[in-house]
Amino acid sequence: MRVIILGATSAIAEATARLYASEGADLLLVGRQQAKLDAIAADLKVRGAVRAETAVYDLAAPENVRSALAQFCATLGGVDHVLIAYGVLGEQDEAEQLTDVAEEILQVNFNSVAAWCLAVADVFEGQARGSLVVLGSVAGDRGRRANYVYGAAKAGLATLVEGISHRFASNGPRAAIVKPGPTITPMTEGMNRKGALWATPEQIARVARRAADRTGPVFYAPGRWRLIMLIIRNLPTVIFNRMSI
């Protein structure tokens, strides 16, 4: 199995890559820092990856997505799964005041990811198989004060991936959006990560790995978030507006 991971230095991506490694996959790790990619690649090889290649690429400001993707595929001699994991929470307060901060959040989390997704969709359609797994967020399910610019990007992503999944429906390929709840990774460093709602990257990784093999297209991670978000989405506005969540 040949797997390309965009944003391979994310804690969730690394945990997912370990699952792939244990299956003896060939991996291409794409990120922006060579030293981090090397450390992960060395680890994955001992954990069973047949290959763990690395590529440094400016994922959030891609020059030519299609040719870059073709290059990645060529490195592995083809592709079976693509995981897109990079993302940034951003500073909501700043985003409300400074347009470029908001644009940056949208660029990293939505525009650039959308470009990769569309390019991957074409490759998968061409070969009539393949699984695309994209990390969204429960934050995309209902906008809230604390992070709605980020949430909007993740909401857009969910719709885009759903659309790709629909486009694939009668063919071989799959597309899935994984929506993690709060997870203990560098992204949430500095928050008070206490309590039962916080997940580990390993928990999210298991869902992301499974998502590649199942018909989704929406996977909450851990699964209990499906119910929680169902409730939150359906809360009457008067109540929701009074909550500080």
Partner 1 sequence: MRSFVSKDDIRSWGGILQGQHFVSRPNWRDQLPRSIAEARDADHSLLAIGLGRSYGDSGLNPGGALVDMTALGRIISFDPATGLLRAEAGISFADILDLFVRRGFFLPVTPGTRFVTLGGAIANDVHGKNHHLAGTIGRWVRRIGLLRSDGTEIELRDDDQTGLFAATIGGLGLTGLITWAEIELMRIPSALMDVETLPFANVDEFFAVAAESEGSADYTVAWVDCLAKGNALGRGLFTRARHAPRGTKLARVEKPKLTVPFSMPSFVLNNLSIGLFNSLYFYKGRRAAGKATTPYLPYFYPLDSIGHWNRIYGRRGMYQYQSVVPPVTARDATTEMLKAISKAGEGSFLAVLKTFGEKVSPGLLSFPQAGTTLALDFPNRGQLTLDLLSRLDDIVREAGGRLYPAKDGRISAAMFRAGYPAWETFAQHVDPAFSSAFWRRISE
Ligand X SMILES: NC(=O)c1ccc[n+]([C@@H]2O[C@H](COP(=O)([O-])OP(=O)(O)OC[C@H]3O[C@@H](n4cnc5c(N)ncnc54)[C@H](OP(=O)(O)O)[C@@H]3O)[C@@H](O)[C@H]2O)c1
Options 77, 99, 189, 238; binder of partner 1; rule CB under 8 A: 189
Question: Considering beta carbons, is residue 182 or 222 the nearer one to ligand X?
Answer: 182
Residue 66 near partner 1 by CB under 8 A: no
Q: Candidates 4-12, 38-46, 75-83, 121-129: pick the segment binding ligand X (CB under 6 A).
A: 4-12
If binding means CB under 6 A, how many residues of this protein chain bind ligand X? 25
CA distance 64 to 11: 27
Query: Would you put residue 60 in left (φ > 0), alpha (ψ -120 to 50) or beta?
Result: alpha
Question: Considering beta carbons, is residue 60 or 101 the nearer one to ligand X?
Answer: 60
Residue 43 near partner 1 by CB under 8 A: yes
Residue 35 near partner 1 by CB under 8 A: yes
Indicate if 148 belongs to the active site. no
57, 86, 148, 150: which one is catalytic? 150
CA distance 125 to 181: 31
Compute the least distance from the CB of residue 191 to ligand X, in Å. 9
If contact means CB under 5 to 8 A according to the sort of partner, which of ligand X, partner 1, none does residue 162 touch? none
For the chain, helix, strand, coil in percent to 5 are 50, 15, 35
Query: Could you say which DSSP state residue 187 is in?
Result: G
> Half-sphere exposure (CA, 13 Å, Cβ side) for 57?
24
Question: Considering beta carbons, is residue 130 or 136 the nearer one to ligand X?
Answer: 136
Options 43, 182, 232, 240; binder of ligand X; rule CB under 6 A: 182
Structure tokens at 163: 């659309």
If contact means CB under 5 to 8 A according to the sort of partner, which of partner 1, ligand X, none does residue 47 touch? partner 1
Strands annotated E in the chain? 2-6, 26-31, 51-56, 81-84, 131-135, 174-180, 218-221
Question: Considering beta carbons, is residue 19 or 115 the nearer one to partner 1?
Answer: 19
Query: Would you put residue 200 in left (φ > 0), alpha (ψ -120 to 50) or beta?
Result: beta
CA distance 127 to 200: 35
Residues found near ligand X in the complex (CB under 6 A): 7, 9-12, 31-33, 36, 59-60, 85-88, 108, 135, 137, 180, 182-183, 185-188
